[in-house]
Amino acid sequence: MTRILLCTKRAMGGDGLYVANLAKALADLGQGEVHLLTSSNTEKSIGNILNQSDVRLHRDLALGKVSAATVRDYLRWHLANYRHLYRLLKRIRFDIIHLQFGLHFTDWIVPMIGRRLGVPVLMTVHDVTPHRWTFQKLSRLERWVLRKRYGTFSHLIVHTHEGRQELVQDYGIEGAKATVIPHAIECNDIVLPAERNRSICLIGGLRRNKGIVQGIEGFQILMEDAKEEWTLVIRGKAQDGQFLGEIEAAIAQAPDAIDFREGYLEEGEFRAILSRAMFCLLPYTEFHSQSGVAAMAIGYCVPCIAVGAGGLSELVADGKTGFLIEDGSREGIARAIGQAISSLGTYPGMVANLQLVRNRYSWPTIARTHLQTYEKVVRDAK
């Protein structure tokens, strides 16, 4: 493998961190040149990671004078960036193009460019059917678009076996064209259990499908009869004003036990809260993908209290590396939290088990799996 090009439209938040870490891990393997085409605000978000690597960075076009106030202007900006990509591919001969995040109404342009230049294009599908709980009225149209979109790529990567099954059954993708590569886990410095706070964190984007309100109510039920004081730490940007009001109303029932602040969470604060928590709570009401928060929690060897939806059941072994919420009601969440905090005697062993899990999904291991997939796709394209 000589030259690999990773492409992403998202350089902010967990998405940007994932792509930057993948690019760095691939470059560290020393198997060829690794290039990354990303948005022009990279220095603010992922520059620190890339500065420590041999990744060759290419920036797409900034919005500049183009207003993103209308859909037409936004699409025109995207199309201008695809022309920018075409000129890059004409200048540098790549063996494979790997698209990470884009806009699924125009992503089909990338494999079209690849076919014209004889370069296979694959994509990581982080959520096979996105927006299923946000734009339900548009679900039929979106599924049609996604079916067309997925079929244009040479190969697809998903993080879970459930995601691969969904691609095959719901979108007609051949099984040989979809590969499962788990979400990578960063092996971070571990805070010793004795130095961690008596806290349970619920962090990340505050969306309805994450079961935020149910998690708050379940925690409050448990704390009514608890013999020890615990704190539920909630951080993140709310989906909308109405949902924020619902969260605040739930917190008002027992405000002393909950540490809540709404707003965008900087990476440093995110890591500080997560690394010092005893548990990470993930009470999703609907979930079909893999959780970046769960992966980061395991990276700090923090056990998760989570539902078994999506890829979470592939990461959380009940009683060994975390605790599964069998019933997503507030009572079921209370039982799972109660089981967790009553099992602190086994906590050191759980941390040791999590060390084994994160080594299994470390960035070097996941990068090698990506490289093997690239080589197979290139062979099949010849």
| Residue-level pLDDT at 128 | 86
| Residue-level pLDDT at 138 | 58
- pTM for the model stands at 0.84
Count CB-CB contacts under 10 A for residue 88.
16
CA gap 309, 289 in Å, rounded: 8
Q: Which long-range contacts (CB under 8 A, 24 or more apart) does 316-322 make?
A: 317/353, 319/343, 319/346, 320/350, 320/353, 321/350, 321/353, 321/354, 321/357, 322/279, 322/350
Q: What is the pLDDT along the chain (382 residues), one digit of tens a residue?
A: 689 999 886 655 567 778 888 999 999 999 889 999 887 665 556 767 777 789 998 887 655 444 555 667 767 777 788 888 899 999 999 999 999 876 656 678 889 999 999 999 999 998 888 766 555 655 777 788 888 889 999 999 999 888 899 999 999 999 999 999 998 998 889 999 999 999 999 998 898 889 999 999 999 998 887 778 899 999 999 878 999 999 999 999 877 789 999 998 887 899 999 999 999 999 998 776 778 899 999 999 999 999 987 778 888 999 999 999 988 899 999 999 999 999 999 999 999 999 999 999 999 999 999 999 999 999 998 8
Asked whether 169 and 160 are in contact (CB, 8 A), the reply is no
Look up the CATH superfamily of 3-184+362-381. Glycogen Phosphorylase B; (3.40.50.2000)
Domain ranges for the chain: 3-184+362-381, 193-360
Q: Do domains 3-184+362-381 and 193-360 have the same CATH topology?
A: yes
| Residue-level pLDDT at 140 | 78
| Residue-level pLDDT at 64 | 47
| Residue-level pLDDT at 80 | 80
Q: Any idea which architecture 193-360 has in CATH? A: 3-Layer(aba) Sandwich (3.40)
| Residue-level pLDDT at 117 | 93
What's the CA dihedral at 299, 300, 302, 308 to 10 degrees?
Answer: -10
Hey, which bits of 210-262 come out as E strands?
231-236, 258-262
Question: Token pair of 17, please?
Answer: 């961190």
Angle at 12 between CA 7 and CA 17, to 5 degrees: 70
Asked whether 61 and 81 are in contact (CB, 8 A), the reply is yes
CA gap 3, 337 in Å, rounded: 48
Q: Which long-range contacts (CB under 8 A, 24 or more apart) does 108-111 make?
A: 108/148, 108/149, 108/152, 109/79, 109/82, 110/7, 110/82, 110/85, 111/152, 111/153, 111/154
Q: Going by C-beta distance under 8 Å and a sequence separation of 6 or more, which residues neighbour residue 169?
A: none
